Amino acid sequence: MRRGSMFGYVSRLLSSVSRSAADRSRPPCGASAGPGRKSAFKPAFTLIELLVVIGIIAVLVSILLPSLARARDTARATTCASNQRQVMLGFLIFAADHRGRLPGNFYDSKNPDPEKRAWLLNDTDPFEAAPQAGTLYPYLKNEAIYRCPSQEFIARDCGAGSNGRFDYVATLAFTGARQEHVKLTAEFRYPDGRVDTDVFTPVVVEEDPAHYLNRGGFDGGHSNIDQLSHAHRGGGYYAAIDGSVHWFREPANCTAHNWYSQGPRGTWVSLGTAPQATWGAWESQ
């Protein structure tokens, strides 16, 4: 039955139940309560009618709940994409203030220039220092931007949900890279040999909690065997160097190693092969 027909049927049924109750509330023909007397007839529903109404309400709830859940998920996905766009814009503003260089990352803690250290969390910082201790925070000044609304905090290091501090990380290979040397487009190479050339290069990504946002890898870098999130329609969002945000369903058997981008020298480089990249490492690719 179509939804419109269902609502029409429910409306007619409720109207019928209401008329039935109203008919019972009228006194028999010729009977009168008389002045000063209360009528013995009171409006009421029978048990069967009440059960019918309850059943109708249950049907309506079962129809509406999936729609409400989809609307909620869509709103959360939109917020997640917006958050990543803002983080990426923060990267670009940082680059404009630092001679075209993107922010540093996890392994830049020993850099003598504090401005070239991690955008989110240094390897010498306590986990609780993120994201406020990062070099990007002065540009964003809002902890909520670092979190995906679809990832609820359950517990730290449990492999599910948010780690409680951040849900977005940055491709480690681009640590301190020149903005102009990060290509807009990339390749995604599937294990079966297929190559998707119609993808954008991921710079800021939402990482999968089990691989390894909330399972051992508490850093701001995406590399090696890290995977993209699957929180939104089985896939996840990521931001490209131009500030655009894109959705991609990364297969469960794929990692950062399956993403390839051209380095400054034109060589195609796997974005998973720089597990401990420091400031400017991309310039040698």
Q: How do the domains of the chain map onto residue ranges? A: 82-284
Checking if the pLDDT of 29 tops 60, the result is: no
What does the pLDDT look like over 202-213, one tens digit per residue? 999 999 999 999
Strand 168-171 and strand 221-222: pairing?
parallel
Q: What is the pTM of this model?
A: 0.80
Ramachandran angles phi, psi of 232, nearest 5°: -120, 105
| Average of per-residue pLDDT across 1-28 | 53
Of 169, 278, 164, which is closest to residue 222 (Cα–Cα)? 169
What does the pLDDT look like over 179-193, one tens digit per residue? 999 999 999 999 999
What does the pLDDT look like over 139-166, one tens digit per residue? 999 999 999 999 999 999 999 999 999 9
Of 81, 75, 42, 48, which is closest to residue 237 (Cα–Cα)? 81
Checking if the pLDDT of 65 tops 80, the result is: no
Of 118, 153, 113, which is closest to residue 135 (Cα–Cα)? 118
How many angstroms separate the CA atoms of 284 and 179, rounded?
14
Checking if the pLDDT of 9 tops 70, the result is: no
Q: In the chain, what is the greatest distance between 2 CA atoms, to the nearest angstrom? A: 102
Instruction: Give the 3-state secondary structure of 209-251.
Output: CCEECCCCCCCCEECCCCCECCCECCEEEEECCCCCEEEECCC
- Give the DSSP H/E element, type plus range, for residue 187: strand 185-189
Strand 236-239 and strand 245-248: pairing?
antiparallel
Q: 3-state SS of the chain: helix, strand, coil percent to 5?
A: 35, 15, 50
User: Given this model, what pLDDT does residue 27 score?
Assistant: 53
How many angstroms separate the CA atoms of 32 and 44, rounded?
19
Number of H helices, E strands in the chain: 3, 9
What does the pLDDT look like over 86-140, one tens digit per residue? 999 999 999 999 999 999 999 999 999 999 999 999 999 999 999 999 999 999 9
What does the pLDDT look like over 244-282, one tens digit per residue? 999 999 999 999 999 999 999 999 999 999 889 999 999
Checking if the pLDDT of 15 tops 70, the result is: no
Residues in the chain: 285
Phi-psi sector, 117: left (phi>0), alpha (psi -120 to 50), beta: beta
Alpha carbon distances (Å) from 100 to 46, 94, 186: 76, 8, 21
Checking if the pLDDT of 84 tops 80, the result is: yes
